[in-house]
Chain A
Amino acid sequence: MKKLKYQLTIGLVCIILGLMISLQFKSTYSNRSKYSYKRIEDLVNEVETLRKQRDDLSAKVKEYQSKVDEIEKSVSSENEVANQMKTELDNLRVLSGLTDVEGPGIIMTLTPSNEIKNDGTTMIYSTDIIDIINELNAAGAEAISINEQRYVGSTQIKEAGAAIKINDEKFSPIEPFTIKAIGDPKILEGAFKMPGGIKDKLEELAGINVKITQVQNIKILKYNKNIQYKFIKTGR
């Protein structure tokens, strides 16, 4: 009798122990984010610092800009040639990607698969992006950016080692890519609905998830690199 009671106690303790061990395991497993707490905290802090830096700089640039504008306007108000040049300049800046612009359009997210179980990992190639840009242009996109890099006439998109380089900035081909385009949202999205089109090919053959969202107001940043030509001589 005494022995049975004793055994029961041991059994109960073992059950509790087992339960706790499994709970412990579960709690560390459910926290399956690859990123440690520390890294996330750093990232959140970094974003805050960057926001502040952006606001400060932005205010400074605005101040300079209004000073420059004031001088240029005072001259062009008396000088017709200067006036025309200023108007044309302002128009061309918007057209060619040298100003931040906003408008309706779509946001595309390309997400490579990182499930080792199924088809293994997949990645994005520079030619995928080029095909998408061509399609967007055919659908009348007026401004395009890839991971915030404005697509302009001189934009290079190429493989560089293990990365994809866009406007000389490197991006990992196994991380999601965000492509923004301003234009008629319906037409831009519709361009990717064709069966057997780029979207289908990417999803079915390349194993990349493509998500397209129509957005009423997208902000696309300007081209932020210096412009220089070595071989062109302007024809006269």
Chain B
Amino acid sequence: MKFNEGKALLLFTGILTGILLSAFIVNTTSKPAVILTYQQYQKYNREANELKAEIKGLYKDENDFENKLTNYYKSNQKNKSVTDTLKKELNEIKLFAGKSKVEGSGIMIVIDDRHDYVNNEEIMNYITHNSDLLRVVNELKNAGAEAISINEKRINDRTAITCEGPVIMVNGEYIVPPFEILAIGDPEALQYALSLPESYVSQIKDRGLYVKIVKKDKITINELTQKFTVRYIKKME
């Protein structure tokens, strides 16, 4: 009896081994090294993202060019139609590039250093830093500001706000406190965004810097005067 029991156990183990063995073989042969590494996966992901962005731009182009063409074909005075279109486009693009003087409703923010410095305090907290201005500009942009300037320097996509010791540099030109930031946009929305307790402007206020926000019906912001060099970018054909 004892002998039979052992045999049964052996048989059982044998069957189990067989199943496992076949499962193992089937498992490994059906997936012949198709495992993408994380890096490869990321690469594909990145390419998909790239292509999607490119396709979006192409759809926009297709639409724009199509409209332009129908307009040109429709018009019986091609010369005038083209000149008018170019003029309109030039105005739009100058606006986009910050190359035109603009006006509209908005807000004015004045920021100044703290002047009640006492010894042993952290002096850095008393000063307006370039990073402070950068954050405020960013907050304004995110709240929908359409044009921004700091002490008459127009902000655009190539603007750097950097620390140069005791002064701050914007667009390669020096500025000193008090800083007057002008922003065109919805005055209510801009003021609301800057007054939220978690806003950066509230933080620098808490630090003790002088901050004043004034809503304005009419603000004028000058065009960008700085000429940015173009040495490296080439238009793609």
Contact = CB atoms under 8 A, between A and B. Distances in A.
A64 B233 contact: no
Nearest to B87: A85
Interface in B147-186: 147, 155-162, 184-186
B104 A233 contact: yes
Nearest to B6: A6
Contact of B230 (A93, A94, A149): A94
A89 B89 contact: yes
Contacts of A34: 38
A57 B58 contact: yes
B78 A235 contact: no
Given A102-B236, A134-B162, A142-B228, A57 B59 contact: yes
A80 to B, nearest CB: 11
A229 B95 contact: yes
B135 A93 contact: no
A106 B24 CA distance: 47
Contacts, number: 266
Contacts of A214: none
Given A60-B62, A88-B90, A232 B102 contact: yes
B134 A134 contact: yes
A152 B236 CA distance: 18
Contact of B20 (A20, A81, A86, A157): A20
Contacts of B160: 134-135, 137-138
A211 B55 CA distance: 28
A71 B38 contact: no
B96 A98 contact: yes
A68 interface: yes
Interface in A65-86: 65, 67-68, 71-72, 74-76, 78-79, 81-82, 85-86
A152 B57 CA distance: 14
Interface of B, helix, strand, loop or mixed by DSSP:
helix
Contact of A231 (B10, B93, B184): B184
Please indicate which of the listed interface residues A14, A147, A232 has the most CB atoms of chain B within 10 Å of its own CB. A232
B146 A183 contact: no
Contacts of A134: 134, 160-162
User: Chain A interface residue count: which class?
Assistant: 35 or more
Given A68-B72, A75-B82, A79-B79, A142 B99 contact: no
Given A17-B16, A20-B24, A151-B157, A92 B97 contact: yes
A27 interface: yes
A44 B21 CA distance: 33
A121 interface: no
B86 A97 contact: no
Contact of A142 (B36, B135, B233): B233
Contact of A10 (B10, B44, B105): B10
Interface of A: 6, 9-10, 13-14, 16-17, 20-21, 23-24, 27, 31, 33-35, 37, 40, 43-44, 46-47, 50-51, 53-54, 57-58, 60-61, 64-65, 67-68, 71-72, 74-76, 78-79, 81-82, 85-86, 88-89, 92-105, 126-127, 130-131, 134-135, 137-138, 140-144, 147-149, 151-158, 169, 176, 178, 182-184, 219-227, 229-235
16 contacts: A16-B17, A21-B20, A24-B20, A40-B44, A64-B61, A64-B62, A82-B82, A92-B97, A98-B96, A100-B57, A102-B234, A141-B158, A220-B233, A229-B146, A234-B101, A234-B102
